């Protein structure tokens, strides 16, 4: 990989002179992304429900009724209280309420069957919620999941955040032999910014035998078959995208008394390049 | 709804100084002068006082509690050291001071937090620490209560709710800390400065501590919105709640004919009716509200007619009052009574809510009422009088030792019932000492206790001894 940080000084300028000097004095050259041909974009510019030509709703507590395999506490709905496009943003709202036997509601949408692609650059600009027990995610699953069940189908977690850690996000790959708690994961922490007060661009660039993880103009991880402790399942099938805001579950635990509801996940855009 | 006033007093010297500065400013500025920016320096104390910073300890505090320490420091060459006195220390009961910019104030609009490193000789909890106190209006005061120290250096962050207000802030830093379990200790603060941090969340702001309160009032009553807090999530995911001045908020009344509210959160009741007072912060609504039920014109208690020479007054707007330790001792564990005193057109009223019993103490010094013949007070019960309702008035003498207990205290309780007790009318109570056989002396009177409440309201005015 030819690695080169594009516009590093410009973006670091926001964070202050000190960072500016540091990043400029470093002599490394990185390229965060190489794929620039836009093939899909949802700018969320039309108020109302998300574009049904692109997005499906996942409703409820998951196929097993077990909180989508993670003991998540929320019931996903397609109600505008939980998901809508407004003011140029997709807004997913987690609400504390009794609904269909669950204590929380929220939303999860996918592009399954509507937009699936093998390889490319997938990114979203988002502002995340905060508070213990909130679990926002932007991720992908192999489109063959109904034939080759998880984790054989593969999973690319572009961005996950634990609400109790407002400065830290992580990206991961799940596959056979490296899933759940043994997924190949790396976290990234902001030094002078938060996930819940600032918008950031979270993305992956995925190609043959590699997935690069980047945030804004920082490339913070590359995973290749050498890193995988099992079969590399990312060279064969197209993947579809998912956006959701979970409450509770195995990732960050349950909300506590300091967690404020409702909480919002704001998505400015989703873009895919080849 | 009265805002708690601090018992810290300024030096009179400072008042004079402030006046002088203002006069100078007025003279120097011509009408069309363009206001030049004030210093936006961030540093307050790094290794010494920043330019213009002055130390002003509170009256009754240990005046030399603060020193510059070159031995113990977080970084650099020195730190701020604070020696909290032991209980009973003749030099001062507590440590407390403001650190003020005497160069006219600073422009802090580019920052969003006051930060410092601190540690203590023990894991004490600093009662109050913050910024925005200037011995003037204290308009944009902010504090953390019970800041928990550790014995290792740790960084603390006090967010600024709305820095756009702080274009000329003089109150750089203030603190007040008393002994912990009667024991003094020492703590240090270093690298005290304002910062712009990207790791502080948006604040969650509340008034009245987030409660929706209802208050009965009368025309002319002023109430102050207190319990104004903001909670921020910090980089470690922990929440930090700060107490902030109401002036950071914008207030609104749902019915300005009934009650108005000004920019400092002061509510004035104007006419009979109901008004909902709420607030916004930065355009977003905040939690908590005050519903004013204005009952119309207030009926004042009868104006006392005795001359001052024949009176020892504990609470009256007509007489000068003797020193009173408190009008509500919050005696635990059984007292439910809360004070919510108010003032109507200059007439101050003791307003006891959730009243079961309450003690008024005036023991510093005790009162010698041997020349007096009666005790007087006026009470008003807004609610109904249930059958069998009592009001008991107890007068307590601390005896020759002049302090509570000691085996020489005596008291007498006088009970009132209907028809003396009536609703919605002032009840003037006069009890001759000659009818208090169990009060052995009245040369060291120290407490007056009211008992027999039913959990509702009682107003009290004009408490005095007379002959």
Would you call B200 and A194 a contact, using CB atoms and an 8 Å cutoff?
yes
CB B458 within 8 A of CB B450: yes
Question: How does DSSP assign A121-185, residue by residue?
Answer: EEEEEEE---STTEEEEEEEEETTTTTS-TTTT-EEEEEEE-TT-TTEEEEEEEBTTB-GGGSEE
Average pLDDT score over residue span B393-399:
97
Would you call A130 and B200 a contact, using CB atoms and an 8 Å cutoff?
no
Catalytic residue list contains A155: yes
Return the number of CB contacts < 8 Å for A and B.
37
How crowded is residue B417: how many other Cβ atoms within 10 Å of its Cβ?
A: 14
Exposed/middle/buried for A256, CB within 10 Å: 0-12, 13-18, 19+?
A: exposed
Residue B208 at interface with chain A, using a CB cutoff of 8 Å? no
- Of A265 and B49, more confident: A265
CB B217 within 8 A of CB B296: no
Total length of chain A:
274
Residue listed under structure tokens 């970084």: B75
Marked catalytic residue, from A160, A226, A231, A264 = A160
pLDDT of A15 over the 60 cut: no
Would you call A131 and B197 a contact, using CB atoms and an 8 Å cutoff?
no
Going by C-alpha positions, the residue among A150, A157, A131 that lies closest to residue A241 is A157
Residue A197 at interface with chain B, using a CB cutoff of 8 Å? yes
State how beta strands B185-195 and B113-120 pair. antiparallel
Would you call B235 and A166 a contact, using CB atoms and an 8 Å cutoff?
yes
- Sign, CA torsion A230/A234/A240/A243: positive
Strand partners, B206: B229, B287
Would you call B198 and A193 a contact, using CB atoms and an 8 Å cutoff?
yes
Q: Which of B110, B196, B198, B205 should we substitute to test contact with A (largest number of A Cβ atoms within 10 Å)? A: B198
Say whether B63 sits in a helix, a strand or coil. coil
pLDDT of B12 over the 80 cut: no
**If pLDDT is split at 50, 70 and 90, which confidence band does A5 have?**
very low
pLDDT in tens, B150-159: 999 999 999 9
Q: How close A260 gets to chain B, by Cα (Å)?
A: 9
How crowded is residue B230: how many other Cβ atoms within 10 Å of its Cβ?
A: 23
Tokens of A134: 């909130």
CB B243 within 8 A of CB B251: no
Going by C-alpha positions, the residue among A250, A264, A268, A267 that lies closest to residue A73 is A250
Would you call B201 and A132 a contact, using CB atoms and an 8 Å cutoff?
no
pLDDT in tens, B408-452: 999 999 999 999 999 999 999 999 999 999 999 999 999 999 999
Would you call B237 and A196 a contact, using CB atoms and an 8 Å cutoff?
no
Residue B199 at interface with chain A, using a CB cutoff of 8 Å? yes
Residue listed under structure tokens 């922490």: A189
User: Predicted ipTM?
Assistant: 0.74
Dist. CA B331–CA B219, nearest whole Å: 32
pLDDT in tens, B184-214: 999 999 999 999 999 999 899 999 999 999 9
Q: Which residues of B touch A192 (CB under 8 A)?
A: 197-199
Tokens of A145: 């999941």
Q: Which residues of A touch B197 (CB under 8 A)?
A: 192
Task: Give the per-residue pLDDT at A30.
Answer: 64
Catalytic residue list contains A97: no
Residue B285 at interface with chain A, using a CB cutoff of 8 Å? no
State how beta strands A239-247 and A116-117 pair. antiparallel
**If pLDDT is split at 50, 70 and 90, which confidence band does B19 have?**
very low
Going by C-alpha positions, the residue among B212, B225, B205 that lies closest to residue B285 is B205
Would you call B233 and A165 a contact, using CB atoms and an 8 Å cutoff?
no
Would you call A164 and B201 a contact, using CB atoms and an 8 Å cutoff?
no
Task: Give the per-residue pLDDT at B206.
Answer: 97
Q: Output the average pLDDT for chain B.
A: 91
Task: Give the per-residue pLDDT at B222.
Answer: 87
Residue A13 at interface with chain B, using a CB cutoff of 8 Å? no
Would you call B199 and A132 a contact, using CB atoms and an 8 Å cutoff?
no
pLDDT of A13 over the 70 cut: no
Q: B371 — phi, psi (to 5°)?
A: -85, -5
Q: Which residues of B touch A194 (CB under 8 A)?
A: 198-201, 235
Residue listed under structure tokens 């929706």: B212
Residue A161 at interface with chain B, using a CB cutoff of 8 Å? no
Cross-chain CB nearest to B201 (options A15, A192, A197): A197
Task: Give the per-residue pLDDT at A10.
Answer: 36
Chain B residue with Cα closest to A190? B199
Q: pTM of the entire structure? A: 0.77
Tokens of A85: 């496009």
Average pLDDT score over residue span A3-23:
37
Residue A19 at interface with chain B, using a CB cutoff of 8 Å? no
Give the contacts of B210 (CB within 8 A, at least 6 positions apart).
B227, B229, B287, B288
pLDDT in tens, B51-75: 999 999 999 899 999 999 999 999 9
- H helix or E strand, kind and range, residue A8: helix A8-13
CA A41 to chain CA mean position, Å? 16
Task: Give the per-residue pLDDT at B227.
Answer: 95
DSSP letter for A12, please: H
Residue A190 at interface with chain B, using a CB cutoff of 8 Å? yes
pLDDT in tens, B104-137: 999 999 999 999 999 999 999 999 999 999 999 9
Chain A residue with Cα closest to B238? A164
Would you call A197 and B239 a contact, using CB atoms and an 8 Å cutoff?
no
Q: How close B217 gets to chain A, by Cα (Å)?
A: 34
pLDDT of B48 over the 50 cut: yes
The CA distances from residue A154 to A145, A151, A174, B456, in Å, are 8, 5, 6, 67
pLDDT of A65 over the 60 cut: yes
Residue A196 at interface with chain B, using a CB cutoff of 8 Å? yes
Marked catalytic residue, from A28, A97, A116, A155 = A155
Dist. CA A83–CA A94, nearest whole Å: 9
Residue A193 at interface with chain B, using a CB cutoff of 8 Å? yes
Please report the residues numbered 226 through 245 in chain B whose beta carbons come closer than 8 angstroms to any beta carbon of chain A.
233, 235, 237, 239
């Amino acid at each position: 990989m030819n690695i080169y940080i594009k516009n590093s000084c410009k973006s670091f300028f926001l964070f202050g002179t000190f960072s500016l000097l540091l990043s400029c004095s470093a002599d490394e050259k990185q390229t965060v992304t190489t794929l620039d041909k836009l093939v899909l974009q949802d700018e969320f510019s039309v108020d109302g429900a998300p574009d049904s030509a692109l997005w499906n709703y996942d409703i409820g507590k998951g196929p097993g009724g077990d909180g989508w395999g993670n003991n998540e506490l929320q019931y996903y709905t397609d109600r505008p209280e939980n998901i809508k496009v407004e003011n140029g943003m997709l807004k997913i709202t987690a609400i504390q309420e009794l609904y269909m036997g669950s204590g929380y509601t929220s939303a999860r949408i996918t592009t399954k069957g509507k937009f699936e692609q093998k390889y490319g650059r997938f990114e979203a600009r988002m502002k995340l919620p905060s508070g213990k027990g909130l679990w926002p995610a932007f991720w992908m699953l192999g489109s063959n999941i109904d034939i080759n069940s998880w984790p054989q189908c593969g999973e690319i977690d572009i961005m996950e955040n634990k609400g109790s850690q407002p400065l830290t996000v992580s990206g991961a790959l799940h596959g056979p032999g490296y899933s759940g708690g043994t997924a190949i994961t790396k976290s990234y922490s902001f030094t002078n910014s938060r996930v819940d007060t600032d918008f950031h661009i979270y993305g992956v660039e995925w190609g043959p035998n590699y997935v690069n993880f980047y945030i804004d103009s920082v490339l913070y991880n590359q995973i290749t078959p050498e890193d995988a402790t099992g079969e590399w399942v990312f060279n064969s099938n197209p993947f579809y995208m998912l956006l959701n805001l979970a409450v509770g579950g195995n990732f960050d635990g349950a909300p506590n008394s300091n967690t404020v509801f409702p909480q919002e996940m704001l998505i400015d855009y989703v873009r895919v390049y080849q | 709804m009265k805002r708690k006033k601090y018992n810290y007093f300024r030096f009179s010297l400072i008042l004079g100084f402030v006046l002088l500065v203002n006069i100078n400013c007025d003279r120097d500025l011509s009408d069309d002068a363009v206001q030049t920016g004030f210093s936006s320096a961030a540093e307050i104390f790094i290794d010494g006082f920043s330019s213009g910073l002055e130390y002003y300890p509170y009256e009754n505090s240990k005046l030399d509690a603060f020193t510059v320490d070159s031995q113990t420091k977080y970084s650099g060459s020195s730190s701020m050291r604070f020696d909290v006195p032991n209980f009973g220390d003749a030099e001062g009961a507590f440590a407390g001071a403001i650190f003020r910019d005497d160069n006219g104030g600073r422009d802090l609009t580019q920052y969003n937090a006051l930060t410092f490193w601190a540690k203590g000789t023990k894991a004490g909890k600093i009662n109050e620490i913050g910024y925005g106190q200037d011995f003037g209006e204290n308009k944009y005061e902010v504090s953390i209560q019970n800041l928990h120290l550790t014995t290792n250096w740790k960084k603390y962050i006090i967010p600024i709710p709305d820095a756009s207000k702080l274009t000329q802030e003089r109150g750089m830093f203030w603190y007040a800390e008393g002994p912990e379990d009667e024991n003094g200790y020492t703590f240090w603060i270093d690298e005290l400065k304002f910062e712009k941090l990207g790791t502080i969340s948006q604040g969650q702001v509340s008034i009245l501590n987030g409660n929706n309160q209802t208050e009965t009032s009368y025309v002319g009553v002023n109430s102050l919105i207190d319990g104004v807090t903001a909670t921020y999530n910090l980089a470690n995911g922990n929440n930090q709640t700060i107490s902030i001045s109401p002036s950071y908020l914008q207030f609104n009344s749902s019915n300005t004919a009934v009650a108005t509210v000004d920019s400092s959160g002061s509510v004035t009741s104007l006419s009979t009716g109901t008004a909902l007072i709420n607030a916004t912060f930065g355009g977003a609504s905040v939690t908590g509200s005050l519903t004013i039920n204005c009952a119309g014109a207030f009926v004042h208690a009868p104006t006392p007619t005795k001359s001052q020479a024949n009176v020892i007054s504990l609470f009256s707007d007509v007489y000068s009052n003797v020193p009173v330790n408190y009008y509500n001792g919050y005696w635990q564990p059984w007292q439910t009574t809360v004070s919510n005193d108010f003032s109507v057109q200059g007439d101050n009223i003791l307003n006891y809510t959730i009243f079961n019993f309450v003690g008024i103490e005036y023991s510093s010094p005790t009162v010698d009422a041997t020349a007096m013949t009666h005790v007087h007070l006026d009470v008003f019960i807004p609610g109904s009088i249930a059958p069998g309702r009592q009001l008991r008035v107890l007068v307590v003498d601390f005896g020759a030792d002049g302090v509570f207990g000691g085996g020489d205290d005596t008291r007498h309780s006088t009970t009132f019932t209907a028809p003396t007790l009536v609703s919605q009318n002032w009840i003037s109570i006069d009890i001759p000492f000659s009818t208090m056989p169990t009060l052995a002396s009245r040369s060291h009177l120290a407490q007056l206790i009211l008992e027999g409440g039913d959990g509702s309201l009682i107003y009290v005015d004009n408490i005095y001894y007379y002959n």
